[in-house]
Amino acid sequence: MKHVGMMTAMVMALGAVGPVIAGISTSTTTTTTPTTVTSTTTSTSSTLPSTCGSALTFTAIACRLDELAAQVAAAEPNLGKLGPKLSKALGKAETALNRGSEACAAGNTKKAGKQLKKAIRRMIQFNHRLGSLKARKAVPEEVRRPLLDTGRPLQNDMKTMKRGLTCPQPGSPSGAFVH
């Protein structure tokens, strides 16, 4: 307990406060001795920018889902036994998304929402598999991380779209929109 108080006092005295992440503040302190230690942190991102846009429409989400499926197909040799399972989850998500789009175009918001919920469940499955201990051990981080960095925001956008889903009257050319 005494050490925690000393560390807190030292951090406050140095004024070293790091970034706030999800309501938790992190802090870093550097102490110097006769030998100086220098550390460098490099952040890289290997996710490719989406050409589909970030609109919350069935068309944009389907396009992003296709891009993710292409990423998985390109990484297939490095995914091992996990590759076919990930591809299958994305295929089922795409099928459900297409059915939801058709239902929405027909003016059936309830059915469109149910299909969108199925697509979300498949994305949860996809992201869970990639984040599992088994995947972390078997798949190289430089392959696994970009897939997660694409899959998680896509899942969140699907959830946001479902919350505000409104389908137009039958025959409306706009498809679905979020209000």
Query: What does pTM read for this prediction?
Result: 0.66
The better pLDDT of the pair 35, 107 is held by 107
3 state SS of 29: coil
Query: Residue 126 pLDDT more than 80?
Result: yes
Q: For 60-94, what is each residue's pLDDT tens digit?
A: 999 999 999 999 999 999 999 999 999 999 999 99
Question: Mean pLDDT, to the nearest integer, of 118-146?
Answer: 96
Distance linking the first and last C-alpha atoms of the chain: 52
**Whole-number Å distance between alpha carbons of 169 and 108:** 9
More confident call, 130 vs 179: 130
Mean confidence (pLDDT) of the chain: 76
Mean pLDDT of 108-119: 96
Residues in a beta bridge with 166? 177
Does residue 55 register a pLDDT over 60?
Answer: yes
pLDDT band at 132 (very low <50, low <70, confident <90, very high): very high
> Residue 173: which pLDDT band, with cuts at 50, 70 and 90?
low
For residue 113, what is the enclosing H or E element? helix 109-131
For 104-113, the pLDDT digits (tens) are 999 999 999 9
| pLDDT on residue 49 | 56
Q: Tens of pLDDT along 90-105? A: 999 999 999 999 999 9
Q: Which pLDDT score, from 0 to 100, does residue 7 have?
A: 38
Cα–Cα distance for residue pair 58/70, rounded to 1 Å: 18
pLDDT of residue 176: 52
DSSP structure class, residue 109: H
Q: Find the helix or strand (DSSP H, E) in which 94 lies.
A: helix 82-105
CB neighbour list of residue 88: distance below 8 Å, 6 or more residues apart: none
